[in-house]
Structure formats: C-alpha cells, structure tokens
Chains A and B, each alone.
Chain A
C-alpha cells in the first residue's frame, strides 16, 4: 500500500500522476468475518479502522449499501467541537477532539482539520448564564472555553449585526480548538487506513436480513450474498430503526431530515465557526470559499434526503439576522441528510438484547464531530465487550431507568433535540 509523502508526490508529478494506486481495495465478501460492521459511513469506517489498528481485530468487513461515505459523513456542515455540558457527554467529545488533532498523522491523509474556533453567540442574560455553566463544565474537564464580551466579539466578528438587531448580541462562548474538517476526506482517510490494516470494505452491499440463532446473531443476508460472522456492529445512523427492525428491536429514535447549504465561493469572509443564539443558524467558510451553513431539522419523520422551502427560508432569515451583509450572497446548493434523532438528544452505543449484536446510533445532528471517538469507542466495545471509559453513559437502558443525557432539557420529543 502506498504511503503519501513528499517523495511520493514528487515522483508521481514527474510520472504525470499515472502511478497512483487505489486508495483501497474493492474486495468481494468472504464467507466469514470476526466482525461485520453494517454501515460504511464515517462511524462504521472509523470503527473498522480502530478495530484493526488499535485493537488488533483484522478479520473485519464493513458493509455499505451504496458507496463508501455516502451517508451523513458527506452531507453535514463539517463542524468539530467539544463544548458539551453534561458529564456523560463532555469527556467523550473531548476525546474525539484529541483524536481529530492527531488524525492526519495517524492515518496519513490530510482531512484538513482546521481549528479556527467555534463561537456560540448569546443574546440574553439567561443564555449567558447557560453558556457560563457550559463553559465552566468544559473548563472543569480541561477543555478550552472562553466567554467573550461584545467588544471582543466586534474585533473577531465585525460583520455581525451589533446596531439594528432584533435580539442584540451580548457575547459569545468560544472554543478555540473547535473548527472544521473536510468531511469526505474523513471517510476516505479512515477507509484507506482500515483497508491497509486488512479490513474488507464492501460497497454496494446492502444488508437485507440479520441471521439469528436463539439470542445470538450468526451473520447477515446481503445483496451480495450471505456472510457469517462472530459479531455485528450497527453503525447506520439515519436508518437505525430500519436495520434494528430486522431483529425486532424498537428504538428510542426518530429519523429526521436536516438540510445544509453552501453559498457561492467568496474571498475570505468569515474566519471561525459562528452559531446564532436567536434562531437556528451556524456557519463557517470552507477552504474553497463557500459559506457552509445549516439550521434546524424539518420537524417531520423522513427518510428522504431532502427538505422543504419553509426551512430554507427560516435558515436564511436567521443567517441574515446575524450577518446582514449576506443579503447579496447567493446560496448555491442545499442538501439533506437523515438524522437519528434520539429521545434525549444523545447517542446510544451499547450492547443489545442479542448477545453479539452491538448498536451505535442516535447521533442526532452531532455525529460528524464524534466520528473518531465513536469509531474508537465502538471498536473498544466490540473488541472488549465493555464500554470505553468516555462512553459509559450512552446506554440503551438509560431511558427506561431515567438516566437521561438531555443537554437541551426538552424531554422525550425527538424533533426538539
């Protein structure tokens, strides 16, 4: 397998780039694997990568119904951050941030991790108090957090509406280490790394049934035939209920569509990630110049990767309320992903009622930033049959037992999280 280096670049430049090798193999499925990961998106590929690289489990297949990275890893707003409030969440997302920070060297692929900072604006005393509580929770865990006043914001973000805003900006909570990552490259980097460690990434291979014997799973039926295995890990966020339905599991999850957008390419306009506090809007500028932004979910259950016009308008309205200069910026494209919206807004990573079937899902619209840690922790769970120390509270039974991880405090209504 080919390692990317200054030398390989130089050599290939002189050979007109004719000698680059495939980034991954395109194998046929073997009859049996130690572990099958269902879902070749970011989380599934990351799981396979860490399983093979860190935990030494190499007889692994990732089964992807479409092309690798065809799920939400390729349709999000590319934001990474670890600005979480609750004890069950904060260490996990910080673990993820640390993995992001070393990822490029780790998998020898430049995913363009850009720690340009994430700023959450607040517009009222109550919001400031909530962000103070959050920022202090971060600081307690050693995560960087700063509370910025209006003047500091003006310096960093001169284009916000300070003069005529309906909801005047009071300040912001900043995480300097937050930022963005080139989303597709994350999938490719993990895929290439997993492949190098022997993982079979099998595309165009849709799982149609999960085979069971008693309280164990034995393999899967796919559009490319039956495959046996010792363990199955599900990483199909967006479609979790559908796949779980194959083994008669009902989940505390609803699937919802979330739109995201990109503007035409602009010269440098906005230097950090900024989120609005008086409406649903978050924005950053890609390395190519497009403003990448999003808002709220559509509100109704959907498996169609598209949204509606009303939501587009709401997002644009919130955007311009925050940055009036957007008026003449044109929006180029919208896209839609399907979110596993869990009933407390927090993911689930746990064993299931079937002894060797493991579940990873419910990421709501926070799955992208979690990709490396989700992979690492799910690999830990699959390899050692016990949760990683930062993912002990993502349990399936927390709903029944009342140990909820509800960052927003809105309760058991999926579309409010």
Chain B
C-alpha cells in the first residue's frame, strides 16, 4: 500500500484484500472500497479526461454526483461504460479503464483542444463550420462525430439476467442517512409496511462519514443499533444498492436495485438478476435524500487534487484514505470546517482555511491558518495540484503550497424526486439553495434535503416527518429517539453564497464534465441566451452524465449575479428522470432477445410441426406458411403444389388464428345489425353470413363471417390481425353506445381448433368423420351448425364457407381435440390425395379469387372501393359508419377501387407496392394512378397476378398500364382486369 492509506476506515475490511487493474496496471484495495477510494489510496490522482478540452481530471466527489471519474469497467458483454468510480464497489479482479483519452490518460493528444480554447467557447459550433458550404457534411461533421462520447459500448451480448417487480408499502423512505433511518425506524415500530431504499451498499448515508461520536456513543455503534433493529422488524424491507430514479404519477416510483453489480464474475449467480427494476407504490414517501455539496467556480478548480470537502471527509473516515499531506480548505459555510477538524485529528496538516466570509467561524478551534474574506483564484500543478493562489481581501495575492484542496460552496438539497412531476423547487436565501417544493401528494422532505444540518437535527426531523405521515395513514407512532440524549448539535451554517470567484485566473469550471466555464455562461448571457434553459442548452451546462448535480445551481447563481436578481428569480431547469442513469437491461428485464414478446401457437401447431411446416410470424402467432415435401428446395415449389392440389384434390389448412367471438343475448341480432354495414337482423339459425364492419368514420375496419348457431347465439370470426381490436370495438358498442341492448360476448379464439378443408374432394374426406349429412342439399353453401363426429364421440361446428373459392368447409373442434381431428382428416383424405396447405397457398388462392385481406382493407378504403358497395345497407336505421360513409370524399368517383392486374407479357413479374401509371405518362406523383396491394404467382394461370387499387377501378378492365417499381428499377406493361381470376362464376364454391 502507498502512503495515502492511513489507519481507520469504517467501511473497509483490511483482512480482505482485493486486486484490480486500472488502465492495465495491477493495484489492490480492500473489501468495502469503492473504485475511487482504492484509486486514491494507490495515489492515482488523474483518472479521466474532460469532454471538450481533454483536461486531466481527478476524483471530485464520493457519490452519485461525480462528474469526472467515469471509467469503463469490465469487458465484452459485461462492459459498463461511464461508470462512476465513486459508486462502483471494488471486487476482486475488477478491470477499470479511463475514457476519452488517447493514447492514455496521462498523455492525451486531445489536450491540444485546450490551446484552441478561445475558439471553442460556448456555442462556437453554431457560428462556424459553415465555410465552404459543402464542408460541413463532408469534413467537419464526421470529425466532430468521431470525437463524440465518453466511454465505448461494446456490441457483444450481455450474458446477465435482469428482472422486474412491483412492491407496495405504506411508507417509502428514500435515503438511509440519519433522517431516513429515523423515519424508517419510527414507521417500522408503528407496524406500518415500510420500504427504505438507499443507493449505497450499506445503510447509514452521512453517518458513514462520521468519525466521532453521535450523542454518547461512537457513530458506528449508533448506526449498528439502528440497522440491527430495522433488520429485525418483519414489516420493514431494506433495499440497499437501490436507487429511486424517478417519481411518477400516483406515488409510483421507479427504482433499480444493483443486485450483483458489486460481485466478481466468478461469484455471479447466473440465475439471479444482475439488476432488478422495482416499481414501488407508496402511500406516503419520506424524502430523505440529503444534500449535494457544491463546488465553487474559480480558476483551475478542476485540477486533480481539488475535491469536495465532504467527499474528502468520507475518504478519510470511511475508507482510511488521506487526500494528501498538506491540505487547504476553501469554504463559505461552517459545516465544511468539520473536514479540517477531521484532517487534523488524523495528523494531516491543514495549511490554510480560506473563507470568503468576513466573520470567522467561531466553532473551529484547530491549528490551521484561517484566512477570512479571501478566495482561491487559481491553482497550479501539471497533473495534480501543487499550489493555490489566494486573493486576500486587501487585493494581495499569496501562493500557498498544498497537495490537496477541499472545497465547499454550500449544499444543494437533492430535490429531484420531489420535482419529477412538475413542481418547482423554492429558493431559500437562508440555506443558499433550492429547497423542495411544497407538495401535497404524500411526500415529506426530511433532513438535509429540507435544510437540517447535523446528525441530531436530521434524526429528529426524520422521526417527526414519519409520525406526521403515519398519523395521516392511521398508524399510531412515537418519534424514535436515536440520539440517546437530548443533546443537540444544532449547527448554524451561516452560509454566504459564493458562486464564482470574480478574480479567477484561467478557466474556472462550472460543469466539469462538459467543460463549461464561468466565461461560457457569461458569453451565453451576452448573446441573449439568458434564460436558464437557453443558457443550459447553449453552453451544455448540466447536460453531462451527472445532469448538473454539481453545476446547475452554480450556473443559476452566476446568471442571477450578472442580472442582479435572486437565484429564485432565475429558477431551475426542469428536473426529470433519471436521478442517476439506468441501464437498458434493468428497464427491459426478461423481455429480451427471443422473449421480447410472447409466442402464440395454434392448437394445431404440433400437427403442423409433424407435417413439416415452415412457420411465419403473424403478430404474436406462428402460422404454418407452407409444408415442403422431400425434394422441394424453393418455397414456391411447395406453394404451387399445395395450390394445385387444393384446386384438383383436397387440402387442409389451419385457420385457428382467426379471431372467434361468441355472442349471446336477446338483442344479439340487433347488435350485429348495428355493427356490420350489411344486414344481419334476419340471419336464420344454421346460416353463416359474410359481414363488413365499418369504423364510425365510414371506412372498412374488418371483415369476417358470423353464424347463427341457435336463437340468440352467434359465432363471429374476425381476421387474425384484428381479433383483439374487433372484440374491444364490440365491447365499446355494447357497453358504451348501446348499454340497453341485451347482448354479451366473449373471445373464444383459443378455445377452438379450426381448419379449412378445401377442394373438389372435400366432401369425400369429411363424410368419413362427420356423422351428419353434408351433401350440397343438406349442407349448402353458407350453412353453419353443430355436427356429430366420429360416431357421436365428438361435437364440432361445421361451416360451409370458402376463402379459396373451392368447395370448402371449416370445421371447429375444442382446442384439445384439434391435433387428433386433423390427423383423422389427413388419414381419411390420404386416398384422395389430401395435403396440408399453409398461409402462402391460402394467399395465392384468395388472390386468384379476388378476395380481400388487410392488404386491401388498409384503413383507407370504403366497401365501394373494394367492389362491395352494394353490401352497404340503405334500409337500416343505424349502423356504425352509416353517415360518415356518405361524405363527399368517400364517394368521390376518382377514388382508387379494386381491380385485378396482370402482366401484358406472361413472363413478366412485378412486386406488391408497385405503383400504376398510365402508358406514356411522365413518372410523377401527380400521375400516380394507384398501387398493387397484393401479388402472387398463379400456378393455375401460369403467370403473376395481382390486386390493385386504381383510380377508375373496374371501368378500366382491359386497359394497359405501367406497373412501376422505381425501387427495383422496373416498369412492366400490365393489364387491368377483373380481380376474380379463377372461377368468376363461383361454380366451384356451390358444388
């Protein structure tokens, strides 16, 4: 160990040595270290480079606000870029690398940007790179983009597992510092369900940095007592390493728990989550998030070795790490003096305390030289601080040699979660900070976030806030007294705001990571970007990965000072999730890769698999698309065979994915009559009817058949795509529009296995398994009723409907019988040449018949556009879409209408999505005549055929046009024709 590790350190275990690498160098630390504390202990002062000027940067903080020490940790699929060293817990074998530097962090070529500083002020890029005109895209921008970013993300897959949970509680305590602990204990003792969450690995917050006594007991003993009791309370759930990142409506909080982020790869349990997303629902929340110490803006304030005073104290007391041998403190408030006291207690020389206030802090009794009314205006040292230049109140400069500088410009309450829902924080001169807004929706701030100073005061505030909250929730509670005595350590901050040192030499940084200086803020003001949001956006202040935790209030202060107004008048920028960045992995949980969405399988899926089906995703469904036989290597070989087999023999197709809705009730017929545009009131029992459903805007929504199975009992089928949508629509109609109708409905899509059996030999096959008479006389086209099967062993529903245009039936059986029935049909059909066919063959046959699907029903067509205008009832009083269907634009004769289309030369091919142009017309959007909605190769006709929506529609049968596909560079001569390419007289259908 180097000399920077000294004795003490409440968080580390010196018996558990952990080795790690930093930029390839092997180093070691202890269990309990963060990467930052271990680096400091090893004397690594320069850990990263800034974004714009590539300035060497050290560790500024000891927590979530860290703007400088961003490292890439891990590699391959476990590579975490931009990880704050101050949060990352050290584990054995950890690999950390600096970012944004080349060739290395100690010598970075990019630092040349620093010399160009005068050209690279705020918003410089908006004023430049414009000459010559063509150079922006070709030269400048690629260079800028190459320079972008901090860490590098890999393309390797992440092997880790993630998950999501809900949690509910009466009281959520956010932050486990003194106020949070007191609140949690108070609430826990009352019996309320409590969740206490803290981003750290251990409970304690600010107590962990305390070296001395709390009340009459050592700080660590006090903490151990509290934590012990909380663990023992069964109604208290403790979540460490858990960051509440966002406050959403209804007291729902988003939180991420870093379950195994602190473990070496060898210790990671692959079955446990790496990170876990929590949605926490709270009845009341105690916001005990503490306050963030602010830097002061002065020349050279970014030099490695400059550190927040509170962070320095944390490294000293919690990790046993000395910041240096000779330290100065630059602070404008009393609390920061505790750092000097603790440093001296550990034998580290405090060279000077520079305090801009003219009244000295009377509580400090140490040895350090106390310079009142003074400010640090500059620092010096190449890779780390060697000296500071102090400007005395009489204007005299003094150089003081130091190897570390502690800075405290005051404390900014961590109000984010109180503001995520739009409330604005409130400026307080007394606290020189923006305080949490007055909120009425169940959130109480307590502790440092509310301006309390010191452990005792925070204990008290937390306990009292909890009592008030519990009272409102109906729990009887007593404030937990954690001090063990009445002794109060009421500290007066006596803060005098100091944002920026006016006499600063050189660059004085406001936003460290984005390299925004006080000069940049001033420039933004001069140029008119003086609103706090404009200043932010123009300078990028507060837009770095720390989201301005250390920089925003200083920027506001500088703006306020320059305008001569209160910071409250300037106001803050908007607080938005995420409090600290959250990984995609955590937000996604288990819904990734193939599990992104669930898979729906038809009840006949197993049958299709056994018959060699190739499947295609259709929404969530897998549908069998074709069934290749031996020797068929090209999909169309199979499809053509399946089509020809149906047209000449018989085929079987799984149509189970079509939406199925059971509809019951005395008014079911009236209901159907109102939701379809064609008549349904008099559909007799035992009959099916094709129906078109419009939206209220008069355009076609969906189509399908509905059968009357018994009096007041109907069975509706929908398209696969709109099964859920149609049910929702019907429920809206029934519940909202016509609640007086006696009608009920339920989805039965998954309850039935349904298959189409089609082809001239269909009856020969089905009559073997269906007991009822299915002759054309007994079971004519559009008959629909329950039938007995297998000698009475099974009941099924038989429908004489056809999408292929062949003699066809659809048979539905309870889902569990599906595969057996399909097998039986296959067996019965063997001698008739039965073969399964898939959605591709189905698609070919429906195009050959001119039947439409959602390729044509694309949400912009009327029934008339589809050639079904005469189906729209002119007799009904009312149906959905009746009136709007008659609007001028929907009956305009120039609307595209459905036609068939075929190539003039049978060997020519064309694609769906091609547009139609008149022969001889110039290629232009104005001359667009329509487009091909569907196409296929027709094995029956031996050439390509298609359906199209074309202006003029059926009036243009026989006309030659150009089928234009600019994307493919093709233009094919085509002939508009009747869309019924096969059996236009429907003779097969009625056979």
Contacts and interface: CB of A to CB of B under 8 A. Distances in A.
B81 A329 contact: yes
Interface string B63-106: 00000000000000111111000000000000000000000000
B527 A268 contact: no
Given A17-B121, A158-B155, A165-B594, A139 B966 contact: yes
A164 B594 contact: yes
Contacts of A130: 913
Nearest to A91: B925
Contacts of A83: none
A74 B931 contact: no
A154 to B, nearest CB: 12
Interface in A313-369: 313, 316-321, 324-336
Contacts of B156: 325
Contacts of A406: 859-860
Nearest to A159: B155
Interface in A167-181: 167-168
B128 interface: yes
Contacts of B616: 124-125
A15 to B, nearest CB: 9
A371 B128 CA distance: 22
A308 B248 contact: yes
Interface centre among A108, A269, A285, by most B CB within 10 Å?
A269
A184 B122 CA distance: 14
B577 interface: yes
B85 to A, nearest CB: 15
A250 interface: no
B916 to A, nearest CB: 10
Contact of B925 (A70, A90, A115): A90
Contacts of A90: 925
B151 interface: yes
B670 interface: no
Interface in B290-332: none
A137 B932 CA distance: 12
A19 B596 CA distance: 56
Nearest to B617: A167
Given A137-B915, A332-B581, A6 B925 contact: no
Given A13-B118, A313-B587, A333-B576, A140 B915 contact: yes
A16 B118 contact: yes
B127 A185 contact: no
Interface residues of B, number: 125
A312 B1 CA distance: 45
Given A398-B889, A412-B696, A412-B697, A334 B576 contact: yes
A185 B695 contact: no
A266 B915 CA distance: 42
Contacts of A332: 545, 547, 578, 581
Contact of B931 (A105, A136, A168): A136
Interface string A278-307: 110000011111100000000000001110
Contacts of B699: 409, 411
A55 interface: no
Interface in A44-68: 67-68
Nearest to A185: B126
B596 A24 contact: no
A320 B588 contact: yes
A304 B81 contact: no
Nearest to B122: A17
A137 B594 CA distance: 34
A402 interface: yes
A105 B592 CA distance: 45
B18 interface: no
Contacts of A325: 153-158
A396 B78 CA distance: 54
B866 to A, nearest CB: 14
Contact of B592 (A23, A263, A308, A327): A327
B421 to A, nearest CB: 7
B126 A109 contact: yes
Given A4-B127, A266-B150, A9 B119 contact: yes
A317 B592 contact: yes
Contact of A328 (B81, B248, B589, B617): B81
B884 interface: yes
A131 B914 CA distance: 10
Nearest to B83: A330
A30 B246 CA distance: 44
Interface centre among A159, A312, A410, by most B CB within 10 Å?
A312
A142 B702 CA distance: 35
Contacts of B246: 309, 312, 334
B595 A166 contact: yes
Contacts of A290: 149
Nearest to A126: B855
Contact of B80 (A139, A328, A401): A328
Contacts of A241: none
B859 A411 contact: yes
Nearest to B513: A265
Contacts of B697: 404, 411-412
A22 interface: yes
B380 to A, nearest CB: 21
B527 A23 contact: yes
B158 A132 contact: no
B964 A136 contact: yes
B887 A401 contact: yes
Interface stretch (B34-42, B140-148, B354-362): B140-148
B140 to A, nearest CB: 9
Contact of B78 (A70, A146, A328, A333): A328
A266 to B, nearest CB: 5
Given A287-B141, A312-B587, A327-B158, A17 B523 contact: yes
A145 interface: yes
A267 B149 CA distance: 4
B593 A146 contact: no
Interface string A97-140: 00000001100111111110000000111101111111111011
A84 to B, nearest CB: 10
Interface in B571-603: 574, 576-578, 581-585, 587-589, 591-597, 599
Interface string B126-143: 111111010011000100
Given A325-B157, A402-B888, A140 B928 contact: yes
Interface stretch (B364-372, B528-536, B644-652): B528-536
Interface string A198-218: 000001000000000000000
A112 B141 CA distance: 8
Nearest to B914: A136
B860 A404 contact: yes
A266 B545 CA distance: 11
Interface in B828-883: 854-855, 858-860
B175 interface: no
B339 to A, nearest CB: 30
B153 A269 contact: yes
A375 B587 CA distance: 39
A354 B164 CA distance: 54
A320 B150 contact: no
B964 A306 contact: no
Contacts of A320: 584-585, 588, 592, 596
A400 B887 contact: yes
Given A139-B967, A309-B246, A412-B695, A285 B148 contact: yes
Closest 4 A/B residue pairs (Cβ): A409-B859, A132-B913, A289-B149, A402-B889
Given A128-B913, A328-B77, 11 more contacts: A14-B118, A74-B533, A112-B141, A113-B136, A188-B538, A287-B144, A305-B574, A308-B249, A324-B158, A327-B160, A411-B859
25 contacts: A4-B126, A6-B128, A9-B127, A14-B118, A67-B533, A67-B534, A91-B925, A109-B126, A110-B127, A124-B616, A136-B965, A140-B966, A161-B593, A166-B593, A188-B538, A265-B151, A267-B151, A287-B141, A308-B248, A313-B588, A320-B592, A321-B597, A327-B77, A335-B576, A408-B859
